[in-house]
């Protein structure tokens, strides 16, 4: 057991000839919520892709629980204990809510404990119990976000990576989602979340990193970042920086 | 004669539904495969043929009981499907999407040719051990085999539904089809899903082949080509990737064919399917049952133009090579050798034409042999029936091929990627079927005999040297013309359309006009090529330019390097000339082409001389 659950070590990633990350390094300590802040096109979602093995970095490595993930494909990485809540949910639209949530347990073969966990997440998201037979694509944005989180939980991950979990939600739902993230975190799951909305993310995060055009320009405890004048200007004030 | 009572119509309906069930077994597999891998599997028809032959072995050689035969066919073809996924799809995961499509074409050629070598090209009888009773209902009747086919169709649909609905792997298949990345993030191994889907689809396809063999009591190594196309048509009617739609589309297609045969006769059967295909592609590319929500009308974009630096020959080298080629008959006198090379130059005309369309404009045409056929028939009939001098008939035939070819493909101009390939394949088949059926003009299945040779000032050019020189001179002229064209503004515009037609349109390029121009030039070149072939061969029929010639042309063009003029000539010389010179037995030739195509796609997509 190490204190650092996830570590990115001088990652350089590219889309064809275009470089997205420049020596990106960051850490997610065990049991914490860490947020990655940054404006549009700064490379946040690409960081998620690198962690999940959907994009192979040209150099540098991702280390999870002390083991480098180099050379593993996405399903193998997921099996190591990383769950994900992708950008804009990415539910399986014509499958039912129940099917969507249970797809999260795809890697598990213990039918009995899967069934127990399924009851568990329905207790956590009671709304989904009413909707379990409905097609996921027909749910509201907030409900879809719950399905996505429930799906990620079903794999019993040690870390959940989330891409802009509050995007496009009404203020009421935003609060609900943030509460949920804290609840999940209190159950011992570490969280790495990517956010454009710094003020929201810093409310619940322990630590934060600020990404600008593929480089970490600032990092520290969430409380410090929230007070940092640079952040205030760039993200917490009126105009958002690119 | 039109049946006037109700009874025969009931029979036609039953027949249509039975055939529809057989198509459904094919189409469902194609839809499943498209769902998870966005690939239209052209090898599917070959799997169906293999299924029929495995069944034939079980029934006639091993005398197995029918249920065991079915299980063996399903297992054998399922395994074959997994192999196809492994060789045809997985290594090309990161290649442009047209690459796996071409690979499945190569695989289908290899499978069909291997079956021909193993079992001979002759049809075989596939007797059923089923009882021969028929139940009479309302003037029509149903036999045991009809019931079996219906039972297998409905049973397979039920099994498939259960699999997709209630098993974990079935869920993974659906999830992968809906969102591949998200499925992977749930831990789904997409390779395994693909393999499973190919295996299931191929098992169903094989059973379909077995049933057809039993229904008509005959199987042959080429039965898969048409059937595969029918499956694709049925799938398109239902909307690509839509499994219930594929079943509905299949039943509809079966009924259309059956009623069509009742009204017009058997030889029109395939014409309905392919005309339906073109209509669907043009009018409802998402299928008849698509909801208002419009799917993107093409499954993919991206050409097969691998980035490469083409080999550019200096001017003097081109002139020297041309001069050497022209001087060859002065040194080499064997008529056989000259004739072989002359034939290679004729095929090079076809390759030149295809490299313009598939390479420069990026529209991978699979029906190019149709242009040869149009040119050949036009020139022969002009010379024979209208008394036009051959020397004039040949360029006129080029014009006819340009006009007809462009007009036939015109409706498909707005399609991209896979859909262009399917549409051109269908157009090629339509040309053959019209030639077969329009007897008053084309003499139908008998073919055209006594086509006069090319002659200048009353002197027929039939000797060895002329058989070599005439095609070569025409080829050099067209090659020079095409090179000029590629280096002009027009050539650059055509390549811009290939790279990004959306951007090209936004710069004010009228896509239809440029595509039309390219197809017209290509049609002219191929038409002249076909015309010359007709006058050299002196006899042609509807089978002189079959679909495999189109595949051969594609292989030549990819071998030389797509869009590369010198490459097209080289490709034709290598693929037509070499096997002949090495006296490779004719029956192995198509097999070699299939293997070459597969190897090229996998290891050297830019061809020998590089893409332009
Ligand atoms: N599949 C791709 N191919 C090529 N370039 C890409 C691809 N995905 C993203 N990019 C580019 O990489 C850069 C970083 O993209 P990324 O999606 O990581 O940004 P982001 O920080 O998540 O932005 P947003 O706030 O819009 O979600 C952008 O310039 C984007 O255009
Ligand atoms: Mg993003």
B592: number of Cβ within 10 Å: 17
Residue-wise pLDDT tens digits, B180-231: 999 999 999 999 999 999 999 999 999 999 999 999 999 999 999 989 989 9
Closest residue (by CA) to atom 29 of ligand 1?
A41
Inter-chain touch B188–A99, beta carbons under 8 Å = no
Domain ranges for chain A = 1-81+157-242, 91-156
**Both tokens of residue B572?**
């034709």
Query: Does residue A190 have its Cβ closer than 6 Å to ligand 1?
Result: no
pLDDT of residue A242: 35
pLDDT of residue B584: 65
- The chain-wide mean pLDDT, for chain B, equals 88
Q: For each of the domains in chain B, give its residue range(s) and CATH number, in order of start.
A: 21-288 (1.10.3470), 335-546 (no CATH)
Distance B100 CA to ligand 1 centre (A): 28
Which residues of chain A have a CB within 8 Å of the CB of B179? 90-92
Inter-chain touch B186–A78, beta carbons under 8 Å = yes
Mean pLDDT of A131-153: 92
Inter-chain touch A54–B184, beta carbons under 8 Å = yes
Residue B428 · residue B434 · CB < 8 Å: no
Residue A241 in this model has a pLDDT that exceeds 70:
no
pLDDT of residue B119: 93
Determine whether B472 is exposed, middle or buried from the number of CB atoms within 10 Å of its CB (0-12, 13-18, 19+). Answer: buried
Mean pLDDT of A145-172: 92
pLDDT of residue B399: 96
Residues belonging to chain B with any Cβ–Cβ distance to chain A shorter than 8 Å: 168, 171-172, 174-175, 178-179, 181-190
**Both tokens of residue A88?**
């804009």
Residue B93 · residue B67 · CB < 8 Å: no
Q: By the CB < 8 Å criterion, does A56 face chain B? A: no
Residue B581 in this model has a pLDDT that exceeds 80:
no
pLDDT band at residue B303, thresholds of 50, 70 and 90?
A: low
Mean pLDDT of A89-116: 92
Residue with tokens 């879809």: A144
pLDDT of residue B171: 95
Nearest to B321 by CA among B524, B573, B551, B37: B573
Contacts of residue B448, Cβ cutoff 8 Å, sequence gap at least 6? B377, B380, B381, B384, B442, B534, B539, B540, B541
Residue-wise pLDDT tens digits, A117-128: 999 999 999 989
Distance B99 CA to ligand 1 centre (A): 27
pLDDT band at residue A239, thresholds of 50, 70 and 90?
A: very low
Q: What is the ipTM of this complex?
A: 0.90
Pick the residue from chain B with its C-alpha nearest to A98.
Answer: B171
Residue B354 in this model has a pLDDT that exceeds 70:
yes
**CB-closest option in B179, B181, B187 to A107:** B187
Nearest ligand 1 atom to alpha carbon A16:
4
Query: Does residue A196 have its Cβ closer than 6 Å to ligand 1?
Result: yes
pLDDT of residue B106: 92
Which residues of chain A have a CB within 8 Å of the CB of B187? 75, 78-79, 106-107, 155
Mean pLDDT of B281-301: 59
pLDDT of residue A102: 95
Report residue B180 CA to chain centroid gap.
Answer: 29
pLDDT of residue B301: 42
Question: Is the domain A1-81+157-242 a CATH 3.30.1330.200 member?
Answer: no
Residues 170-209 of A with CB under 8 A from B: none
pLDDT of residue B583: 67
Instruction: Give dist(CA B117, CA B109) in Å, integer.
Output: 12
Task: Give the predicted TM-score (pTM) of the model.
Answer: 0.88
Mean pLDDT of A147-165: 94
- The chain-wide mean pLDDT, for chain A, equals 90
pLDDT of residue B9: 82
Distances (CA, A) of B141 to A144, B135, B539: 54, 5, 45
Residue A12 in this model has a pLDDT that exceeds 60:
yes
Residue-wise pLDDT tens digits, B92-149: 887 877 788 889 999 999 999 999 999 999 999 988 778 777 887 777 778 888 899 9
Higher pLDDT, B584 or B8: B8
pLDDT band at residue A1, thresholds of 50, 70 and 90?
A: very low
Residue B508 in this model has a pLDDT that exceeds 50:
yes
pLDDT of residue B203: 97
């Amino acid at each position: 057991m190490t204190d650092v659950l996830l570590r990115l070590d001088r990652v350089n990633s590219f889309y064809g000839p275009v470089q997205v990350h420049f020596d990106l390094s960051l850490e997610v300590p065990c049991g914490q919520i860490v947020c990655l802040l940054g404006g549009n096109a700064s490379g946040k979602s690409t960081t998620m892709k690198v962690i999940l093995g959907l994009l192979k970095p040209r150099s540098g490595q991702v280390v999870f629980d002390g083991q480098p993930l180099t050379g593993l494909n996405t399903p193998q990485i997921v099996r190591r204990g990383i769950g994900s809540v992708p950008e804009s949910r990415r539910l399986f639209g014509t499958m039912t809510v129940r099917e969507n949530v249970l797809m999260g347990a795809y890697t598990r073969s213990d039918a009995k404990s899967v069934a127990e966990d399924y009851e568990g997440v329905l207790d956590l998201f009671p709304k989904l119990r009413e909707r379990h037979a409905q097609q996921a694509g027909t749910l509201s944005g907030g409900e879809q976000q719950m399905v996505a989180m429930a799906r990620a939980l079903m794999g019993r991950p040690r870390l959940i990576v989330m891409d802009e979990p509050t995007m496009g939600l009404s203020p009421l739902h935003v609060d609900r989602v943030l509460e949920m993230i804290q609840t999940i975190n209190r159950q011992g799951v570490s969280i790495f979340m990517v956010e454009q909305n710094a003020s929201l993310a810093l409310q619940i995060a322990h630590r934060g990193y600020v990404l600008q055009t593929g480089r970490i320009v600032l990092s520290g405890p969430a409380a410090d970042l929230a007070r940092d004048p640079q952040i205030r200007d760039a993200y917490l004030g009126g105009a958002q920086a690119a | 004669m039109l049946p006037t009572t109700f009874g025969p119509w009931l029979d036609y309906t039953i027949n249509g539904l039975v055939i529809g069930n057989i198509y459904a077994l094919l189409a469902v597999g194609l839809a499943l495969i498209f769902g998870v891998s966005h690939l239209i599997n052209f090898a599917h028809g070959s799997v169906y043929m293999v299924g029929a032959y495995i069944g034939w072995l079980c029934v006639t050689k091993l005398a197995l009981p029918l249920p065991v035969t079915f299980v063996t066919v399903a297992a054998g073809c399922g395994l074959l499907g997994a192999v196809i996924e492994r060789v045809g799809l997985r290594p090309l995961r990161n290649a442009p999407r047209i690459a796996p499509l071409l690979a499945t074409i190569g695989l289908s050629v290899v499978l069909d040719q291997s079956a021909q070598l193993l079992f001979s090209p002759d049809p075989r009888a596939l007797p059923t051990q089923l009882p021969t009773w028929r139940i009479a209902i309302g003037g029509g009747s149903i036999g045991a085999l009809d019931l079996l086919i219906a039972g297998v169709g409905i049973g397979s649909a039920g099994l498939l539904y259960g699999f997709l609905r209630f098993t974990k792997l079935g869920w993974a298949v659906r999830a992968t089809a809906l969102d591949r990345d998200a499925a992977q993030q749930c831990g789904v191994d997409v390779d395994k899903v693909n393999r499973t889907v190919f295996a299931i689809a191929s098992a169903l396809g094989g059973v379909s082949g077995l049933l057809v063999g039993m229904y008509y009591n005959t199987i042959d190594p080429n039965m898969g080509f048409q059937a595969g196309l029918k499956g694709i048509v049925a799938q398109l009617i239902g909307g690509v990737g839509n499994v219930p739609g594929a079943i509905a589309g299949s039943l509809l297609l079966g009924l259309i064919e059956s009623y069509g045969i009742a009204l017009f006769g058997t030889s029109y059967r395939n014409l309905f399917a392919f005309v339906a295909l073109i209509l669907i592609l043009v009018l409802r590319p998402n299928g008849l049952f698509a909801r208002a929500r419009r799917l993107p009308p093409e499954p993919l974009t991206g050409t097969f133009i691998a980035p490469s630096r083409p080999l550019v020959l200096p001017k003097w080298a081109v002139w020297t090579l041309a001069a050497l080629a022209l001087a060859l008959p002065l040194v080499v006198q064997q008529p056989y050798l000259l004739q072989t090379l002359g034939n290679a130059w004729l095929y090079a005309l076809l390759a030149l034409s295809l490299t313009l369309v598939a390479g420069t404009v990026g529209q991978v045409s699979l029906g190019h042999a149709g242009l040869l056929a149009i040119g050949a028939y036009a020139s022969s009939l002009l010379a024979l029936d209208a008394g036009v001098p051959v020397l004039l008939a040949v360029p006129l035939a080029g014009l006819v091929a340009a006009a007809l070819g462009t007009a036939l493909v015109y409706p498909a101009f707005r399609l991209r990627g896979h859909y262009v390939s399917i549409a051109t394949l269908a157009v090629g088949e339509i040309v053959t079927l019209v030639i077969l059926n329009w007897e008053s003009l084309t003499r139908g299945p008998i073919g055209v005999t006594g086509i006069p040779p090319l002659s200048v000032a009353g002197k027929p050019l039939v000797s060895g040297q002329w058989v070599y020189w005439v095609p070569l001179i025409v080829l050099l002229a067209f090659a020079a013309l095409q090179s000029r064209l590629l280096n002009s503004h027009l050539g650059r515009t055509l390549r811009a359309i290939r790279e990004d037609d959306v951007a090209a349109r936004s710069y004010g390029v009228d896509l239809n006009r440029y595509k039309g121009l390219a197809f017209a030039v290509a049609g002219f070149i191929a038409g002249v090529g076909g015309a010359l072939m007709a006058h050299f061969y002196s006899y042609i029929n509807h089978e002189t330019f079959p679909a495999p010639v189109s595949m051969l042309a594609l292989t030549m063009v990819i071998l030389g390097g797509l869009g590369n003029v010198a490459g097209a000539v080289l490709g034709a010389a290598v693929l037509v000339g070499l096997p002949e010179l090495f006296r490779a037995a004719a029956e192995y030739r198509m097999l070699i082409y299939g293997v070459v195509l597969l190897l090229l796609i996998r290891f050297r997509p830019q061809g020998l001389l590089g893409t332009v």
